[in-house]
């Protein structure tokens, strides 16, 4: 293997590792707070995803756990 090939291989490994770390970085804003609603969402809105799930939770807010209510209030205050 030539020096050029080794340098190229090292550069590719470094780039791949950098991209992998970037993908496993911090969760999106509000993701931790909305984890409090995971059980409520699975129980009340199992067939919904994304914005439809949030709308379903809002519609059923009187049935939500205290933790989920607090998370949704915090998210609304962002």
Place of tokens 């780039």: 15
Position with higher pLDDT, 74 vs 11: 74
Q: Mind listing the pLDDT tens digit for each residue in 28-63?
A: 555 565 688 999 999 999 999 989 998 999 999 999
CA gap 13, 31 in Å, rounded:
30
Give the pLDDT confidence score for residue 62 in this predicted structure: 95
**Relative orientation angle of helices 66-76 and 50-59, to the nearest 10 degrees:** 120
């Amino acid at each position: 293997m030539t020096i050029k090939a080794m340098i190229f291989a090292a550069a590719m490994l470094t780039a791949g590792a950098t991209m992998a770390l970037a993908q496993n970085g911090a969760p999106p804003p509000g993701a931790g707070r909305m984890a409090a609603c995971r059980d409520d969402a699975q129980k009340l809105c199992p067939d919904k995803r994304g914005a439809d799930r949030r709308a379903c939770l809002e519609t059923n807010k009187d049935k939500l756990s205290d933790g989920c209510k607090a998370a949704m209030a915090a998210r609304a205050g962002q």
